[in-house]
Copies of this chain bind each other. A is one copy, B any other.
């Protein structure tokens, strides 16, 4: 009789080894961190004795699951904003919050909470990338989970580094500090090609090669990413990554949704492992990764939950099931990625993808004791049939739940016993997380109440214009009078421009919030051809107007920002209660009347169709006194144009459509 530490016995043993050994009344003998033997309960009890013998009757003993791609501290951002496009979600919510809140404390707490959830759900190994990776490592090691942790490198400032040099320095120190740890594999994680430069990717690759650590990266997550990359570099993402030598490192590439057959062969050639994230790819409408083709071509494929801010949980049972179900759609074949295969991706092949295939991912003598025990007979997973030898995989994948997990061991250490966590204090973690969430909610709510803060939060470069706009608008019945004005001896024309303007107004329930105008200016040449396009976003407060003579004197805060994102982004981000469209043809002259600068606009409004030609005379100023002077000059110009007071209009065009 040999002495061991622990024996798990009397369960259905699903080893997930290369020959898929299944033992119906099976047992595992564990000594310290290693699996010493697997076999029938009778064999194991005949050869081994242990102070701790756990009966797993009515349960399945199987390898812990491998979550191959996530961002664990983002557990603290779970459900912060959902059902949004990637850019709105990332630049509108995640990045502003991260800039404000992500710290070593944040990362430790988020990691601990994520570990609690993953242990409950039967995950014993994960790969992740985020910031302050040394703190993530400390929290992971304390929780007792195995992980590959990638320090993020970005070309722009990150929460843990002002420059990418700082990130790389941090990464080097992190790797030096944690390499050789029994649970933690440090790694380098250039976030993605679009958030890096060729140089930063090269530096990351060198670092990965120098220390022989994995390189984690997001690749080809969306069609748009690939199209943009082709525009910028003349090559698709995968081809370019191969060309610049990124794949010299041991690469774990997340997503790989938008890839073609040649790129799949490139991935195989360079032994790039893929982390498939089915929920996240659906949730952001990125598409369905060609998992079946990747596997057929011999690429190592693993499954990940992605971060809990975009999933919204860390449930590998859901992800395996979804991986198996989704693969059948592009293949148009229900036999594609059967349950047994999906479970392989979430265990043995997942471990291989992370470079940990030699020590985890299956129950085999010599491997680490990364083991979970799950209830085989919950109401949602009975009865059992014995016809198909693969029925047990089908039960785990198609009807198993993360809450079926009863026990978890990692590296021979008990992390959960009878659904009680042994290394983490869930109650305390939840309370701390609630505090963070309250502060983040307050931060975001304050921003929500104020359009200018919300504009600033997405990095809008705001230009505050002069406080006062002095302006008159009138019907111009006799269009030829404009020549009279421009030819007037006191008038000097500086510049003339022809625009087509497409305005979208965002209105809000609370008029005190002000309004936003998204304007696309198409600059038209003499042949009517668009010469250039510019988009700007203008915020105007709802402050009261003051009238001077018949000229409207607007006193308002006015902020202008280049609109470098599509209209759709702003619509989803600001969520106006109402939108109005306004299209017009505008001829504009920059003039000086009696030496004072004015704009003269002659407008025809095509949508909504307004009947007349309109003239606007306007100027801006910081001074109330100066405003009065300019208003008087505007009145003189109206006289030259022979516009009677009755033709003067007080409404903005966008109001005129109301009537």
Would you call A328 and B285 a contact (CB within 8 A)?
yes
Q: Is A426 engaged at the interface, CB distance under 8 Å to the other chain?
A: yes
Given A282-B326, A326-B282, A398-B313, also A382-B78 (CB < 8 A): yes
Interface hit among A115-123, A248-256, A295-303, A550-558? A115-123
Q: Give complex CA distance A285, B331 in Å.
A: 8
- Using Cβ atoms and an 8 Å threshold, which residues of chain B touch A183? none
Would you call A333 and B285 a contact (CB within 8 A)?
yes
Would you call A113 and B382 a contact (CB within 8 A)?
yes
- Using Cβ atoms and an 8 Å threshold, which residues of chain B touch A85? 333-335
Would you call A312 and B387 a contact (CB within 8 A)?
no
Among residues 382 to 429 in chain A, which have CB atoms less than 8 Å away from a CB atom of chain B? 382-388, 390-391, 394-395, 398-399, 401-403, 426, 429
- The proximity string for A residues 72-93 relative to B, scoring 1 for CB distances below 8 Å and 0 otherwise, is 0000101111111110010000
- The proximity string for A residues 154-174 relative to B, scoring 1 for CB distances below 8 Å and 0 otherwise, is 000000000000000000000
Q: How far is the CB of A385 from chain B (nearest CB, A)?
A: 5
Would you call B445 and A387 a contact (CB within 8 A)?
yes
Would you call A339 and B83 a contact (CB within 8 A)?
yes
Q: Is A437 engaged at the interface, CB distance under 8 Å to the other chain?
A: yes
Contact for A311 among B89, B398, B445, CB less than 8 A: B398
Would you call A385 and B441 a contact (CB within 8 A)?
yes
Given A326-B282, A328-B285, A379-B120, also A445-B312 (CB < 8 A): no
- Using Cβ atoms and an 8 Å threshold, which residues of chain B touch A391? 79, 82
Q: Is A99 engaged at the interface, CB distance under 8 Å to the other chain?
A: no
- Using Cβ atoms and an 8 Å threshold, which residues of chain B touch A326? 282
Q: Give complex CA distance A331, B282 in Å.
A: 11
Given A380-B120, A383-B430, also A335-B113 (CB < 8 A): no
Q: How far is the CB of A402 from chain B (nearest CB, A)?
A: 8
Q: Is A433 engaged at the interface, CB distance under 8 Å to the other chain?
A: yes
Would you call B338 and A82 a contact (CB within 8 A)?
yes
- The proximity string for A residues 255-281 relative to B, scoring 1 for CB distances below 8 Å and 0 otherwise, is 000000000000000000000000100
Q: Give complex CA distance A192, B563 in Å.
A: 53
Q: How far is the CB of A209 from chain B (nearest CB, A)?
A: 37
A429 to B, closest residue via Cβ: B379
Would you call A399 and B313 a contact (CB within 8 A)?
yes
Q: How far is the CB of A114 from chain B (nearest CB, A)?
A: 9
Q: Is A515 engaged at the interface, CB distance under 8 Å to the other chain?
A: no
Q: How far is the CB of A306 from chain B (nearest CB, A)?
A: 12
A286 to B, closest residue via Cβ: B334
Q: Give complex CA distance A52, B32 in Å.
A: 52
- Using Cβ atoms and an 8 Å threshold, which residues of chain B touch A382? 78, 113, 430, 433-434, 437
Q: Is A377 engaged at the interface, CB distance under 8 Å to the other chain?
A: yes
Among residues 312 to 357 in chain A, which have CB atoms less than 8 Å away from a CB atom of chain B? 312-315, 318, 321-322, 324-326, 328-329, 331-336, 338-339
Q: Is A288 engaged at the interface, CB distance under 8 Å to the other chain?
A: yes
Q: Is A462 engaged at the interface, CB distance under 8 Å to the other chain?
A: no
- Using Cβ atoms and an 8 Å threshold, which residues of chain B touch A430? 377, 379, 382-383
A440 to B, closest residue via Cβ: B385
Would you call A434 and B383 a contact (CB within 8 A)?
yes
Q: Give complex CA distance A551, B89 in Å.
A: 80
Q: Give complex CA distance A43, B351 in Å.
A: 56
Of A85, A120, A336, A401, the most chain B CB neighbours within 10 A belong to: A401
Chain A to chain B contacts (Cβ below 8 Å), 7 pairs: A83-B390, A117-B379, A308-B399, A318-B318, A385-B437, A385-B444, A403-B403
Known A-B contacts: A81-B388, A120-B380. Give 17 more (CB < 8 A): A76-B383, A79-B399, A82-B388, A83-B324, A83-B335, A84-B335, A85-B335, A113-B379, A282-B326, A312-B394, A312-B399, A313-B399, A377-B430, A382-B434, A384-B437, A385-B440, A387-B444
User: Which residues from chain A sit less than 8 Å from chain B, CB to CB?
Assistant: 76, 78-86, 89, 113, 116-117, 120-121, 279, 282-285, 287-288, 308, 311-315, 318, 321-322, 324-326, 328-329, 331-336, 338-339, 377, 379-388, 390-391, 394-395, 398-399, 401-403, 426, 429-430, 433-434, 436-437, 440-441, 444-445, 448, 572
- Which 8 pairs show the lowest CB-CB distances between chains A and B? A383-B437, A83-B338, A282-B325, A285-B328, A383-B433, A312-B398, A312-B399, A403-B403
